[in-house]
């Protein structure tokens, strides 16, 4: 499992073109990168504007899970953040990302887990999302999908009755313009 986590992290950076910022949190709560405040940047403002659409996509995906006692998405602690996109240049480029996880069974049930992940994949396929090549070893259950608006979805079945969903917006440059 540790290897899969490393592969997922590498794949997320490679495929989506983004990574979590390596900054520190200041006492006021703003992120800093190498001592430079990044509050008020146009790239981050444009990325934050994508939060409602990211959340809408995440809800659509969540609705595809078909398990008993599935909690509402609002009740699930998720991760939401600005991601610094790395498109090969020194410019500041950011995206909005949000993710969550569903435990599909109390005990390990690879078949149910695969079935639930496939329900989400089928919905994405039906709604015109393109599957992105997976650089992980053949047979890896992680899939990546992109729509025509540049949003990227990652579906990660863990093999222990958990399925992760991650949705990322397109990237925006320091002028607030979509890039990539």
Q: How far is CA 39 from CA 73, 112, 174, in A?
A: 29, 43, 12
Higher pLDDT, 140 or 149: 149
Question: Is residue 54 a contact partner of residue 167, using CB atoms and an 8 Å limit?
Answer: yes
pTM of the model: 0.75
Structure tokens at 173: 């440059």
Structure confidence at residue 124 (pLDDT): 97
Q: Which of 64-68, 84-88, 107-111, 120-124 has the lowest mean pLDDT?
A: 84-88
Rounded CA-CA distance 120/55 in Å is 15
Helix, strand or coil for residue 31?
strand
Nearest to 66 by CA among 125, 16, 123, 22: 123
Structure confidence at residue 23 (pLDDT): 38
Task: Give Rg (Cα) of the chain.
Answer: 17
Question: Is residue 115 a contact partner of residue 163, using CB atoms and an 8 Å limit?
Answer: no
pLDDT exceeds cutoff 50 at 17: no
């Amino acid at each position: 499992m540790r290897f899969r986590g490393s592969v997922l992290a590498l794949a997320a950076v490679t495929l989506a073109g983004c990574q979590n910022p390596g900054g520190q949190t200041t006492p006021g709560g703003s992120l800093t990168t190498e001592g430079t405040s990044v509050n008020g940047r146009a790239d981050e403002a444009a990325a934050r504007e994508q939060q409602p659409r990211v959340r809408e996509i995440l809800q659509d995906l969540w609705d595809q899970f078909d398990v008993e006692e599935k909690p509402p998405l609002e009740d699930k602690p998720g991760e939401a953040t600005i991601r610094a996109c790395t498109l090969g240049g020194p410019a500041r480029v950011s995206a909005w990302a949000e993710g969550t996880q569903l435990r599909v069974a109390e005990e390990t049930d690879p078949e149910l887990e695969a079935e639930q992940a496939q329900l989400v994949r089928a919905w994405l396929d039906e709604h015109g999302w393109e599957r992105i090549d997976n650089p992980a070893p053949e047979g890896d259950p992680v899939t990546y999908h992109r729509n025509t608006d540049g949003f990227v979805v990652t579906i990660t079945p863990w093999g222990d009755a958990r399925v992760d969903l991650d949705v990322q917006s397109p990237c925006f440059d320091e002028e607030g313009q979509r890039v990539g």
